[in-house]
Structure 1
Amino acid sequence: MIKHSEQQGFTLIEVLIAFVILSFGLLGAVALQAKAKQASFDALQRSAAIALGNDILQRMRANDSSGFAGLYNGEFSSQSSAGATQPCFNAACSAQQIAAFDKQQWIRAIKARENTGTLDDATVCINSTPVAAGNANEFNIQVVISWQGRQEFSASEENSDVDCGTANDSRRLVVLDSYIYLRS
């Protein structure tokens, strides 16, 4: 005599439900990994931008002679020509020659960062202004680094007010404000 159970196939349904739950969990883990990779790349870009900004600020501090005001001001991009200037490693150079050499080296650094994929389509704006009218020894320095990000985001109103590079929804920027006191 064969006895038939009314619960035939119940374990198969349990296995299918467990498989669906496991699939959703794995898909969530893959999505989390993709977001973590994007965040890691964004952090790499910001680190590179801050390193470049600090580099030019230190170059400016090293060239703190009279006539400093407009030597570094301007907008540079990764498409700018680095040009050829007199190397100032072993030669005596004027403040203007040192500034031209610093900008040339810095444009090359921006291009090198772009070639590694770190900063795509980078634009840099430098603005030095005297702290007070008639005071030629104290300057506020603002260095803005703007680059093309890989994903779109909504810029804050403060970021929209910064004018450096072409504005769009995937531009990233870092603003470094500093102060320089020139030797007398």
Structure 2
Amino acid sequence: TGSVVIREEGRNYNRLLWMRPDGQCTQYDKRHLFRMAGEHERYAMGGARPIVELQGWRVLPQVCYDLRFPVWLRNRRLESATGGMDYDLLLFVANWPEPRRHAWRMLLRARAIENLTCVAAVNRVGRDGNGLDYAGDSAVLDALGQPLVELGRSAQVVTVKLDPAPLLAHRARFPAWMDADDFSLVD
């Protein structure tokens, strides 16, 4: 998965494309546009939160700056789902620069903990054409915000096998989602 600029009906979108093993593609248009870089002037805002099912996991894919918006990422009660919530894994593809490295790392942990979910986050490494450095810090976290994998500043490829049992056991022991306020987002 990754995100690319897509032009559709006269508007540009920062679109995450998820190609599934069966050949189907799910798309997610970035909801929160990074104003400090003028994204709100060049892109249209997305509005849907697609949940992709893969090998028994319900995955919510997101792009970069969306990480800063916990209401948008709120894992909602879903009685019919195993574990009682609408997703099990929060996936981020990102372009967070070195100066915001601390926020990236802390917000990933916060999203895992508050949503009782695993988090997989892939961030850029190296230097861009404007001389801005990217620290990487890609990671996979459990629902307690503890790292299962943490990568550094260099480009790396790792494989992580996630087991749903610890996630479901944690949700059963600590069902904070049952006390969460119900609300919906309205545009």
Q: TM-score category by the smaller chain?
A: under 0.3
More helix by proportion, 1 or 2?
A: 1
More strand by proportion, 1 or 2?
A: 2
| RCO higher in structure (CA 8 A, sep ≥6) | 1
Structure label with greater radius of gyration: 1
